[in-house]
Amino acid sequence: MKGICHVFFIIFFCTTSLKAEVTIPDLSSPVTDTTDTLSADQVSNLSEKLRAFASDKGSQIALLIIATTTPETIEQYSLRVVDQWKLGRKKIDDGVLLIVAKQDRTLRIEVGYGLEGSLSDLVSKRIIDQIIVPHFKQGAFFDGINAGLDAIVAVVSGETLPAPTLSSQDTDSFLIFPLILIVVIGSFLKTLIDKRLVAGLSGIAAFVVATFFLTSFIAFLIGLLVAIVVLIGTLGGGSGRGGGFMSSRGGSGSSSYSGGGGSFGGGGASGRW
C-alpha cells in the first residue's frame, strides 16, 4: 500500500512538472524568432524598420515568434512577455507586441495603455483578421508579418506622442546631491559639536532623504553608511564616497535593445488561422 502511494506521488509530481510555462526569451532586438520562420535577411529587414520607427516616433513595436504558449493562453503569455520586456516609454506606455505562436496557430497584438486610443481592440482585430491571417493561411508568414507591422506602424504614426529624447534621465541620480551636502555639513559640524551626535543626526537626515527615493531598508543602510562616513571620514573622503552612490542610466548602444519601461493593460486582440 505504501509503495503504491509513493508511486502515485512520483507520478503526480512528474506530471505537474511537465506543465511548465514557456520561458520568455530575452529582449535583445525588436525581432525575436525562436522558430526560424524568418530568414536572417528578413529578420534584419524588420528589425531595422522597427528600430528606425522607435527612434523617429519613440514608440517601441516588437515582434516575437515562438512555437507554442501552452499551457497558457496566448493572452496570458503575451502579458507576461510585455510585463518583462516593458516595451514602450515609461509613463507614455507606447509599446506594441505582435506575437505569433506558430504551432498553436494563434497570434495576438498586445497594445500598451498609451496607444489604446488609436490602436484600439477593434483596429487590432481588423489588422489580424483582414491583413495578417489571409497571408498566414497561405503559409506566407513573412508577408503577413510585414504587412501587419506596416499597418501597426501606420496606425501608431497617426497618434500624437511626445517626441523621443536621446537618453533617459534617471531621477535616482538626484539623490547624490543632498547626500553629499549632508556629508559635507556633517563633517564640518563634527569639529564644533560632539562627533557621535553629529554622525547620528547626519545618518538620520540621510535616511529621511533617501526614503523619498528608495525603499526604507536601503534608505536605512544609506543612513548608516553616511553616519559612519561622517564619523570616521575626512571632508575630501566623504564627498568622494557620496559621489559614487548612484549612477544614472545612460543611453543604450545601437547594437543593444531594451524596453523603455512602458506598461500594458491587456488591450489588443487575438486571432487564429
Partner 1 sequence: MKNDRHLLPSLRAAWFALIFITLALSNCGYNALQSGDEAIKSSWSEVLNQYQRRADLIPNLVNVVKGYAAHEQEVFQQVTEARAKATSITLPAEALSDAQAFENFQKSQAALSSSLGRLIAVAENYPDLKADGNFRDLQAQLEGTENRITVARNRYIQAIKEFNITVRSFPSNLTASYLGFAAKPNFAVENEAAISSPPKVDFNQ
| 216 near partner 1 (CB under 8 A) | yes
| 31 near partner 1 (CB under 8 A) | no
Question: Per the structure block, which three cell numbers stand in for 72?
Answer: 497558457
Best CA proximity match to 90, nearest among 239, 262, 234: 262
Cβ within 8 Å of residue 260, ≥6 positions away: 60, 86, 87, 88, 89, 90, 95, 168
Q: For partner 1, which is the closer residue by CB, 88 or 268?
A: 268
Q: For partner 1, which is the closer residue by CB, 33 or 116?
A: 116
Region of 36-44, 121-129, 149-157, 166-174 interacting with partner 1 (CB under 8 A): 121-129
| 75 near partner 1 (CB under 8 A) | yes
Best CA proximity match to 77, nearest among 94, 59, 52, 100: 100
- Other CB atoms within 10 Å distance of the CB of residue 197: 11
Residue 152 beta carbon to partner 1: minimum distance, rounded to whole angstroms: 16
Helix residue spans in 99-215 (DSSP H): 121-126, 133-137, 141-157, 176-189, 195-213
| 95 near partner 1 (CB under 8 A) | no
Region of 61-69, 146-154, 174-182, 260-268 interacting with partner 1 (CB under 8 A): 260-268
Region of 24-32, 144-152, 160-168, 204-212 interacting with partner 1 (CB under 8 A): 204-212
What own/partner pairs with CB < 8 Å and gap ≥ 24 does 203-209 have? Answer: 203/227, 203/228, 203/230, 206/179, 206/182, 209/175, 209/178, 209/179, 209/182
Distances (CA, A) of 237 to 44, 66, 155, 216, 234: 50, 53, 55, 26, 5
Q: For partner 1, which is the closer residue by CB, 38 or 151?
A: 151
| φ and ψ of 104, to 5 deg | -75, -20
Region of 62-70, 96-104, 144-152, 259-267 interacting with partner 1 (CB under 8 A): 259-267
Q: For partner 1, which is the closer residue by CB, 175 or 269?
A: 269
Question: Per the structure block, which three cell numbers stand in for 95?
Answer: 509599446
Q: Taking CB under 8 A as the criterion, which residues in 125-144 touch partner 1?
A: 125-126
Total residues at interface with partner 1 (CB under 8 A): 32
Residue 153 beta carbon to partner 1: minimum distance, rounded to whole angstroms: 21
Q: For partner 1, which is the closer residue by CB, 148 or 268?
A: 268
Region of 5-13, 45-53, 64-72, 265-273 interacting with partner 1 (CB under 8 A): 265-273
Q: For partner 1, which is the closer residue by CB, 148 or 223?
A: 223
What is the binding site for partner 1 (CB under 8 A)?
75, 79, 120-122, 124-126, 196-197, 199-200, 203-204, 207, 211, 216-217, 219-220, 223-224, 227, 264-270, 272-273
